[in-house]
Structure 1
Amino acid sequence: MLKLFKLFNNKRLFILLITLVMFIVVMGFSLGTRKSLSWPENFLRDTTGFVQNLFYKPAGYVAGLFQDIRELSELAEENKRLKILAAQYTIDKANYNFIKSRYEDLQEQLHFTKAQKELYKYTYTNAQVLSLTTEPSNSTLVIDLGSSDGMKPNMSVISVDGLVGVISKVSNFTSTVKLMTMMDVNDPNSQPPIAATAIGKEGKTFGMIESYDQETGMLKMNKIPQGDPIAVKDTIVTSGIGRLYPQGLTIGTVMSVEEGQFGLTSTAIIKPSAEFQDWKLLIVVSQEERAE
């Protein structure tokens, strides 16, 4: 019995030694500089890769499925919103057509002249900026449209953001645009004052934009009568009164409203919508069949 126990212990020791030797050999192969893996490493790596693919691929498919479901849900919601917008556009378009038709009928019934019918019909022409001068006493730019393109003095020039100025001089192929930054009520050579109103308050708000402050970069809207509902954050646009500036051109946003010198009128400080720099492309707005 004792001999059997000793033999068993010797076998365990022998197996332990063999295992240790194999471990050292494997470590030697692993740590050494080799161009290829040993077969145990290849077997282990292939087995691990197979198991990873077995679990990771289905997991990836499931994750992708949930991602696709979420994107489909978002797409469905966006589709709903677009359908609502399309329906609103259809209704608005129909209402516009009804109003336009009614307006034209009233024009005929009231015997409007051709000039009156063309009063609020504008044309828009793209213009390339050729040069820009930003001196306070001479804030002008030159565009690549002239009399040969139908340009005339006092036509309004806008950017995508708002009113920029008016055409002051015209040659055959170019025109000079006088910017709003030159506006000064005391300077007869500056840009003409602008009759203005506020969006949503047409017929209730009125004033004249007469000057531009070079230091603050703000416009001043004067001659606002008492009780006028003009307020901070109102969007100011051209009123069309006087026909020098087409109706509805964006000018800027009201930053503050102050009481006038004698308390009979108010003055609004307007931040221009157009930024007077880095222009490449502008738009000339003109009225069809405009009476001179």
Structure 2
Amino acid sequence: MKLEKDSRRRLSLKTILATIVVVLIVAITANSMSNSGRLDAVEAKGPISAFYIVGKHLNNVVVGIGDFFGDLANFRSNARMVQDLKNENDKLKQKIIDMESDVDKLDSLERLKKSLNYVSTDQRNSLVTASVIGKNNGDWYKSFVIDAGAGDGVKTDSIVINGQGVVGIVYSVSNHYSKAISLIDSRASVSFKLARKNDHKGVITTSSIVGSADFTDRDKLLQGYLFDPKSDVKKDDLLVTSGLGLYPENIPIGNVTSVTYDKNKSMKTIKIRPSVDFKNIDNVSIIPPRKVQ
């Protein structure tokens, strides 16, 4: 019985001491929050100082662990947000690319529609549209391949045009593809007339001239001559197809950049900047050649 009573006393004493410790820690914590200036005095007192130091370090550890897991959770959350933003940015970039491509296609189609102005009503029934799918080496489209052939109604010597004017002529045809040369190839020479004076005619005779003293390297000029050396041709005159030979009449060729009279040959020669941009040909129209009796 006596041992049992001693055991109960020791247990009770431990309980009391533990309670006192807890109360002291709570009191010290409350006191430090209400008056931080008293912490130095508390830390300086024996047992209380020990309890305070232990409690303070435990609190720092708990806070540090909480901050670590909080930062870890925030890091994962932020990483997901960054990845989501990156994915959204990639989608927006693709949409912009698609939109720009659609705009380019619409612009190309709008330019191609203008080619209808250069053909008669009966020719429109035979008109074939095609895309350029290959070209010669270099910047200029001297020869090129289109994705339309005999199966689409394209024939050898068919005329190639776009919304800017005469492009060239077809010289080889397969079932689904055709090969053509442009006006900057001398084999595609064409007869012209002045748009303002139909009776003043001539012919493109030579291959193109790249650059000159008056023009930059990006200019590609054609050269030709007038049948009548007395023809009233001037700089900036618009030249169109004359209707002689294979090319239909009144399709733009280009503008005169210079006029020279050769006394020895009694010939008036001209240089012409083509209407067509021979560095950028995408979609074209093909019409049958003019019938020559």
TM-score normalised by the chain length of structure 2: 0.51
> Cα distance, 1:283 vs. partner?
1.1
> Cα distance, 1:142 vs. partner?
0.7
Q: Which 4+ residue blocks in structure 1 deviate beyond 6 angstroms?
A: none
* Conserved 8 A contact 2:247-2:289: no
- The answer as to 2:155 corresponding to 1:159 is no
Q: Secondary structure at the match of 1:225?
A: coil
**Deviations 1:10-66, CA, capped at 9 Å, x for gaps:** xxxxxxxxxxxxxxxxxxxxxxxxxxxxxxxxxxxxxxxxxxxxxxxxxxxxxxxxx
The corresponding residue for 2:143 is 140
**Deviations 1:195-235, CA, capped at 9 Å, x for gaps:** 110112002x1111112334221111124312211111111
| CA pair 207-120 structure 1, distance change in 2 beyond 3 A | farther
The corresponding residue for 2:285 is 283
> Cα distance, 1:260 vs. partner?
2.3
Structure with the higher fraction of residues in helix conformation: 2
The corresponding residue for 2:193 is 197
* Conserved 8 A contact 2:209-2:221: yes
Higher alpha-carbon Rg: 2
- 5 Å matches for 1:213-292? 213-216=208-211, 217-242=220-245, 244-260=246-262, 262-286=264-288, 290=291
Alpha-carbon distance between aligned partners in 2 of 1:272 and 1:212, rounded to the nearest angstrom:
12
* Conserved 8 A contact 1:120-1:287: no
Alpha-carbon distance between aligned partners in 2 of 1:260 and 1:224, rounded to the nearest angstrom:
13
The corresponding residue for 1:173 is 176
> Cα distance, 1:122 vs. partner?
2.2
The corresponding residue for 1:122 is 123
* Conserved 8 A contact 1:198-1:230: yes
Alpha-carbon distance between aligned partners in 1 of 2:170 and 2:149, rounded to the nearest angstrom:
10
Q: Percent identity between the aligned chains?
A: 25
| CA pair 281-138 structure 1, distance change in 2 beyond 3 A | closer
* Conserved 8 A contact 1:127-1:145: yes
- The answer as to 2:130 corresponding to 1:131 is no
Letter in 2 for 1:170: V
Which of 203, 209, 214 is the matching residue for 2:204? 209
* Conserved 8 A contact 2:135-2:141: no
Q: Secondary structure at the match of 1:268?
A: strand
Q: Secondary structure at the match of 1:259?
A: strand
* Conserved 8 A contact 1:255-1:271: yes
Alpha-carbon distance between aligned partners in 1 of 2:147 and 2:264, rounded to the nearest angstrom:
46
Q: Secondary structure at the match of 1:122?
A: helix
TM-score normalised by the chain length of structure 1: 0.52
CA RMSD of aligned residues (A): 2.7
* Conserved 8 A contact 1:235-1:253: yes
The corresponding residue for 2:215 is none
